[in-house]
């Protein structure tokens, strides 16, 4: 009996060591990316003629539109503000020479997809970036104190990913090539108290993407979920860039270099290191009341010091802990 227990413990220990070894190998791929699996310059253009980006009016979506246009693709930009789309589209065409098509759509609504489908007819779409997203409470807060924007949040953060993927994936399957990038968040890597609803929607995007990659990998399609932490965008009130807080353009440029590293990436080396450090914190510590209070206080102070946001926002009552919804797209 004792011998069986010893063998069982050895097996468990070996599996734990193997798990950490695999994590280390994945992590070091970021350091050795260009030696490990460098992408040819023609990679993105080889996927197809057009790239479709949701939430493309500003922030990360705008940065993806610019960067993919620089890499030789024509761009379909989808967002809700027509004037902003027209302005950005003109800038991209003048800067890159690529063709840009715009589609006005509000992803908090559920009746927009037939119009999008009609506008995409006949295009050889090689890349889809499901970027549009909504962050409905700027400060961490308890679930019952969050704004009542549940349906909008689900439409924007979940339905948009599922329905846009369904619109475009079939043609990729027929051509047996394509790239789908789904923007999740570091908040979706594990349950995130005081941000429970947003965290849960982003966890859905992560699980959905990883499952789809298993289904369609053998058909020549890359489906990758991107889980960044802090990015300076209008949705995050333009946090001041730092080692951790990346500018949208630099983040996007770096993240595109990681599309060959697997079905999931934080998008940049700094966020990958941060994710591994957070993973080392035992869950009982992370979910303790004391730790959550520290997170709330530090987060609030960080936002106050580093975001370009009007001071009156921070004069909200402590019990509320939120302001208006923030919508990228």
Distance between CA atoms of residues 53 and 56, nearest Å: 6
Has 229 been annotated as catalytic? no
Distance between CA atoms of residues 87 and 57, nearest Å: 9
Token pair recorded at residue 188? 């979706």
Q: Where do we find the tokens 């539109």? A: 65
DSSP 128-193: EEE--EEE--SS---GGGS-S-HHHHHIIIIIHHHHHHHHHHHHHHHHT-EEEEEE--GGGSS--T
* Catalytic residue chosen out of the listed positions 66, 198, 216, 327: 198
**Other CB atoms within 10 A of residue 133 CB:** 29
Angle at alpha carbon of residue 260, lines to 77 and 167, rounded to 5°: 35
Q: What is the dihedral of CA 288, 148, 228, 77, to 10 degrees?
A: 180
CA nearest neighbour of 154 among 196, 199, 108, 190: 108
CB 133 within 8 A of CB 156: yes
CA nearest neighbour of 141 among 323, 327, 278: 323
146: buried, middle or exposed (CB in 10 Å: 19+, 13-18, 0-12)?
buried
284-292's contacts with Cβ under 8 Å and 24+ in sequence apart are 287/191, 287/193, 292/193, 292/194
Catalytic residues: 198
């Amino acid at each position: 009996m004792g011998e069986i227990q010893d063998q069982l413990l050895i097996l468990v220990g070996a599996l734990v060591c193997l798990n950490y070894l695999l994590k280390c190998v994945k992590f070091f791929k970021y350091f050795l990316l260009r030696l490990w699996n460098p992408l040819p310059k023609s990679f993105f253009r080889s996927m197809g003629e057009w790239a479709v980006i949701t939430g493309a009016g500003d922030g990360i979506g705008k940065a993806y539109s610019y960067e993919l246009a620089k890499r030789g693709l024509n761009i379909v930009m989808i967002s809700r503000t027509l004037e902003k789309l027209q302005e950005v589209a003109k800038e991209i065409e003048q800067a890159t020479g690529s063709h840009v098509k715009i589609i006005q759509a509000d992803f908090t609504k559920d009746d927009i997809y037939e119009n999008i489908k009609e506008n995409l007819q006949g295009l050889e779409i090689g890349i889809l970036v499901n970027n549009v997203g909504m962050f409905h409470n700027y400060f961490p807060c308890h679930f019952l104190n969050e704004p009542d924007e549940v349906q909008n949040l689900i439409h924007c953060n979940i339905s948009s990913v599922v329905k846009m993927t369904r619109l475009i994936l079939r043609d990729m399957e027929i051509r047996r090539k394509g790239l789908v990038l789904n923007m999740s968040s570091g908040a979706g890597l594990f349950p995130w108290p005081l941000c429970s609803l947003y965290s849960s929607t982003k966890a859905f995007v992560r699980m959905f993407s990883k499952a789809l990659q298993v289904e369609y990998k053998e058909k020549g399609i890359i489906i990758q979920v991107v889980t960044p932490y802090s990015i300076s965008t209008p949705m995050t009130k333009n946090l001041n860039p730092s080692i951790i807080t990346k500018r949208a353009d630099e983040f996007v440029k770096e993240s595109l270099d990681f599309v060959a590293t697997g079905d999931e990436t934080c998008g940049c080396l700094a966020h990958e290191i941060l994710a591994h450090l957070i993973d080392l914190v035992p869950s009982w510590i992370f979910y303790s009341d004391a730790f959550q209070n520290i997170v709330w206080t530090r987060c609030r102070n960080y936002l106050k010091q580093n975001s370009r946001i009007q001071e009156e926002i921070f004069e909200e009552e402590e019990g509320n802990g939120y302001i208006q919804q923030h919508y990228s797209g």
